[in-house]
Each structure stands twice: as structure tokens, then as C-alpha cells.
């Protein structure tokens, strides 16, 4: 249970009713719907949707296979580019990537091909009897992967496919990273994140060791000495702070902490519920947090952001989900003070009105207050410096907080690669992390084989 919210009541609805509220956000296509939708694809020769896909999936090719009722072929084409294509089909913001680029997304039609839903349909219905990818002959090389999130799992799978032995070091009790612990429950239902990992591990050659935290019981120096290469898929695990007094008061915590608890809960009716809650931030995590509180039964849910709608990180699609769930969006408001009751618990927050002046955000001098039983911070996450506390790790070059890598995902230290959210390369998206892992694995494989030839 989340200690900071122990004083709050539990949802009024029962477990069955809440489970229904957290059912699949986008129900899967039927066979008929998939056939009709796949027929809408024009199979463009120089398809803009492929250029817009961070993992470079050959979209026209897999959709053509769906139209031919070759679902295994469609799924193989997807998974060859993105081994986590099933989860990406569910959580990827296709509305601003492949579907936005679709040639049917024009003023006349305004209806792109539903690429994400077709991708999900192909993978969910492929019916593989064995893993579609086979391992190459063993190379005798061992690679350490730190982090069993999308980047680390993608890297591990591609390395295993090339015949390398891979050991994945994961700090948590389960693999999956963001897919397991950080995505809204209604986006990945029925334990899908774990089922996808189980499928990925089916290729063989991958061992996952749990409760292994870099900077605690694991050091980069040890990994660098014991393995032929190291890939760091560390993510962003530390929470940004508001910098306000009473930030540790009961009733105020990181949105990611609550989402983690919610995703792991067997019975949603036992979660603490804030009848009135504030969510600070404007990204997808903020929307996920707010919508889930509303679906748990919160009466008054407010998302507050210091800038305007146009600057929000959450897509228009995510904002629409929030509005559908009666979440209020407040913009141009900066957290100014945590308000406490006579027992030292959160009772609300004071905000300062903001405005842009010559491109710089400034206070207007006006303030207002919002009542709340709980406040959830979704103002971004940062790199956990404790992960890189040993002497070798301290030598890793950074761009700001994040690790600096080149186009081949190489750090400044020979034999050490990194990808995903812990790097400054690309967008903070699951699909981008998968691509990083894949590209890093190819770079590692090329270097290891080059060393073999040189020897």
C-alpha cells in the first residue's frame, strides 16, 4: 500500500465494477473489421507511414498480408522490426506518427488507415506454434543488458538472435519496465506485458536476474570486466521535485508511484482513493494518472499545467480521453504552495497564474487555490545518478542529465552502449526505446564479430 495515502478512503465501487472500468481502452478489431480496414491501404511505394515509424516497420507489407489472410506473415514482418510490436500497437501514439503520415489522412477523407489496430490484430491472431525467429550458431560472446524495459528487452532479443548469450539485470521483481509498471492499466490489460516478455524469451539464450540494481548491488566496472559488451537501458527512474515546502506531506506523491501500485493490484477496490485530486503536469503520465483516478471513482479530478494547451506533452487523443472521463484541464498555472490541514495532510494547493513574456514564462501576480485530498506529481522524471556511482560509470559523458551516445548507441566508453529514455537521442516513446535496443544490438554484434575476425 502507498503510505502517503493510507489516510484516504477506498473506492465506493466493487472490484468487478472497477475491473470493467479498466477494461481495454480500444477493443480489438474483428476479422471483418480488419479485412475492411486493410483494404483501405493504398500500399504506397514510398510509404510516408514507414518514414514516420520510429521502429521502421514495413507497414504496407504487413497490411497487405492481413488482406491476404496471412496473419503469421504479417506478424513476422512486424516483429522482425519491432519485437514488442504488440505492446507498441496498444500504447504507441500512432495518431501523431504513422497514422498522421498516412496519405488517407487528408482534408477530403480525414480518416487514416488504422495502422495501430491492424498491427495489434495481426500479432494477437498470428497463432505461432513456436518462436518465429531462430538463434544463429553460438558465438561464445556474453553481453550484459541493464534494465528489462523495452530498450533492454529489444536489445537482448536481437543479440540472442545473433547467437550471443545475454544476461539481463533488472532492479524490479518483474520484467517489462514501463510496460509493466508505468502505463495506464486500461491500455495494457490481461497481463499483456508479461505475456509479451514470455514470448520474447522464447528465442532462448536470455537470462534475467532480478533485484539487481546498478549502483547498489551491481557496478558498471564489474559488468565491463565480466562481459564482452554492456548495454544500459536504465530509463528515467527518479522523480522531479517541485521545490516547495511540505512536498513530503501525506497526500502528495509521484504519479508514477500510484500508477505502479494500481497496475500491480489484484483488487482495485482496495486502493486509496482521493475524492478530490490534483495532477501536476501535462504529459501522457499526467493524463494516465488523472483518468485512472476518475475511473476509480474520484468526484473532482484536475490536471494543472504551467503553460498552455499547445505546449502540452500529451497528444490531442490523450486529452480527449481525459475530457471523456470528466477530467478538468487548467493551464497557465504554476504550483506555488502546498496547503495542509490541521493534521499536516494535503488539503489543496495554491497556484500562481502565469503568462509568456518574450518567450519567458512569468507570474502575473494573481493566485488561486484548488482543494484536494491528494496531489500527484507528473512533472517529468530524471536520471537516477545513484545508478552511475562507481568510478567507471562516472566517466560516462552526458548531455545534461542523460547519457551521450552516437548514432550507433555507443557511449564514450569502449564496449558500453546505451538506449531508451536514459539517452538524449530521439523521443521518450516505447517504440523509440525498442528501436534503440535493436540498433544497439546490431552495433554490438558488428563490433564483436569484427573483433573475432581480427583475432
For 254-264, write each residue's pLDDT tens digit.
999 999 999 99
Confidence of residue 451 (pLDDT cuts 50, 70, 90): low
Q: Is the pLDDT of residue 303 over 90?
A: yes
Inter-residue contact 437 to 151 (CB < 8 Å): yes
Q: Is the pLDDT of residue 129 over 90?
A: no
Q: What pLDDT is recorded for position 109?
A: 79
**Closest C-alpha to 278, from 372, 354, 184:** 372
Cell 490541521 maps to which residue? 342
Q: Decide: pTM greater than 0.85.
A: yes
Q: Give the C-alpha distances (Å, rounded to integers) separating 201 from 159, 168, 171.
A: 12, 11, 18
Please state which of the ranges 99-103, 184-188, 396-400 shows the lowest mean pLDDT.
396-400
Distance from C-alpha of 35 to C-alpha of 40, rounded to nearest angstrom: 9
**Closest C-alpha to 202, from 115, 96, 129:** 129
Percent of the residues in the chain that have a pLDDT greater than 90, as a whole number:
87
Percent of the residues in the chain that have a pLDDT greater than 70, as a whole number:
99
Q: Is the pLDDT of residue 106 over 90?
A: no
Distance from C-alpha of 169 to C-alpha of 342, rounded to nearest angstrom: 45
Dump pLDDT digits (tens) for 191-236: 999 999 999 999 999 999 999 999 889 999 999 999 999 999 998 8
Query: What mean pLDDT, rounded, does the chain reach?
Result: 94
Q: What pLDDT is recorded for position 130?
A: 86
**Total length of the chain:** 455
Q: Which residue has the higher pLDDT, 453 or 358?
A: 358
Q: What pLDDT is recorded for position 2?
A: 79
Confidence of residue 3 (pLDDT cuts 50, 70, 90): confident
Which DSSP category does 104 fall into? T
Q: Is the pLDDT of residue 455 over 60?
A: no
Q: What pLDDT is recorded for position 16?
A: 93
Q: Which residue has the higher pLDDT, 107 or 249?
A: 249
Contacts of 146 (CB under 8 A, 6+ apart): 152, 168, 169, 214, 218, 223, 230, 231, 232, 233, 234
**Closest C-alpha to 190, from 431, 22, 16, 430:** 22
Q: What pLDDT is recorded for position 108?
A: 83
Read off the pLDDT of each residue in 286-303 and give the average, rounded to a whole number: 97
Read off the pLDDT of each residue in 339-350 and give the average, rounded to a whole number: 96
Crossing angle of helices 316-324 and 284-296, rounded to 10°: 20
Contacts of 220 (CB under 8 A, 6+ apart): 214, 230, 232, 388, 390, 392, 393, 416
Q: Can you give the C-alpha Rg of the chain in angstroms?
A: 23
Distance from C-alpha of 401 to C-alpha of 410, rounded to nearest angstrom: 17
Q: What pLDDT is recorded for position 1?
A: 54
Distance from C-alpha of 433 to C-alpha of 152, rounded to nearest angstrom: 8
**Closest C-alpha to 136, from 394, 445, 406:** 445
Please state which of the ranges 2-6, 153-157, 423-427 shows the lowest mean pLDDT.
423-427
Dump pLDDT digits (tens) for 394-426: 999 998 889 999 999 999 999 999 999 999 887
Domains of the chain: 31-124 (1.10.1060.10), 142-237+390-454 (3.50.50.60), 239-380 (3.50.50.60)
Q: Is the pLDDT of residue 110 over 90?
A: no
Contacts of 262 (CB under 8 A, 6+ apart): 185, 268, 271, 292
Confidence of residue 452 (pLDDT cuts 50, 70, 90): low
Amino acid at each position: 500500500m502507498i503510505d502517503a495515502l493510507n489516510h484516504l478512503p477506498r473506492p465506493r465501487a466493487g472490484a468487478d465494477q472497477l475491473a470493467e472500468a479498466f477494461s481495454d481502452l480500444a477493443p480489438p478489431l474483428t476479422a471483418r473489421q480488419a479485412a475492411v480496414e486493410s483494404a483501405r491501404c493504398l500500399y504506397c511505394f514510398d510509404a510516408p507511414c514507414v518514414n514516420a515509424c520510429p521502429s521502421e516497420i514495413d507497414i504496407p507489407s504487413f497490411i497487405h498480408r492481413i488482406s491476404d489472410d496471412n496473419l503469421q506473415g504479417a506478424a513476422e514482418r512486424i516483429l522482425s522490426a519491432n519485437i514488442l510490436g504488440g505492446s507498441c500497437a496498444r500504447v504507441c501514439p500512432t495518431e501523431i506518427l504513422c497514422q498522421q503520415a498516412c496519405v488517407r489522412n487528408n482534408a477530403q477523407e480525414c480518416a487514416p488507415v488504422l495502422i495501430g489496430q491492424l498491427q495489434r490484430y495481426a500479432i494477437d491472431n498470428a497463432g505461432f506454434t513456436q518462436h518465429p525467429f531462430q538463434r544463429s550458431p553460438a558465438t561464445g560472446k556474453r553481453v550484459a543488458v541493464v534494465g528489462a524495459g523495452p530498450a533492454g528487452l529489444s536489445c537482448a532479443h536481437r543479440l540472442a538472435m545473433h547467437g550471443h548469450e545475454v544476461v539481463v539485470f533488472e532492479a524490479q521483481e518483474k520484467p517489462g519496465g514501463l510496460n509493466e509498471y508505468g502505463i495506464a492499466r486500461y491500455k495494457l490489460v490481461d497481463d499483456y506485458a508479461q505475456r509479451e516478455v514470455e514470448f520474447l524469451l522464447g528465442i532462448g539464450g536470455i537470462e534475467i536476474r532480478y533485484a539487481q540494481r546498478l549502483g547498489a548491488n551491481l557496478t558498471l566496472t564489474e559488468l565491463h570486466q565480466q562481459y564482452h559488451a554492456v548495454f544500459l537501458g536504465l530509463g528515467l527512474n527518479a522523480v522531479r521535485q517541485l521545490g516547495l515546502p511540505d512536498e513530503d506531506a501525506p497526500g502528495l506523491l509521484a504519479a508514477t508511484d500510484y500508477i505502479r501500485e494500481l497496475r500491480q493490484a489484484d483488487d482495485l477496490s482496495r486502493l486509496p482513493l482521493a475524492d478530490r485530486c490534483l495532477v501536476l503536469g501535462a504529459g501522457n503520465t499526467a493524463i494516465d494518472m488523472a483518468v485512472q483516478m476518475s475511473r476509480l471513482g474520484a468526484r473532482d479530478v484536475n490536471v494543472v499545467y504551467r503553460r498552455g494547451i499547445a505546449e502540452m506533452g500529451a497528444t490531442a487523443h490523450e486529452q480527449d480521453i481525459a475530457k471523456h472521463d470528466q477530467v478538468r484541464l487548467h493551464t497557465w498555472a504554476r504550483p506555488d504552495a502546498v496547503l495542509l490541514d490541521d493534521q499536516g495532510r494535503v488539503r489543496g494547493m495554491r497556484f500562481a497564474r502565469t503568462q509568456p513574456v518574450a518567450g519567458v514564462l512569468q507570474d502575473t501576480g494573481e493566485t488561486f487555490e484548488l482543494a484536494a485530498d491528494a496531489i500527484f506529481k507528473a512533472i517529468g522524471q530524471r536520471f537516477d545518478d545513484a545508478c552511475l556511482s562507481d568510478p567507471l560509470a562516472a566517466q560516462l559523458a552526458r548531455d545534461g542529465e542523460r547519457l551521450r551516445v552516437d548514432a550507433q548507441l555507443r557511449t564514450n566508453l569502449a564496449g558500453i552502449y546505451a538506449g531508451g529514455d536514459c539517452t538524449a537521442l530521439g523521443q521518450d516513446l516505447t517504440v523509440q526505446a525498442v528501436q534503440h535496443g535493436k540498433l544497439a544490438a546490431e552495433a554490438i554484434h558488428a563490433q564483436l564479430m569484427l573483433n573475432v575476425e581480427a583475432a
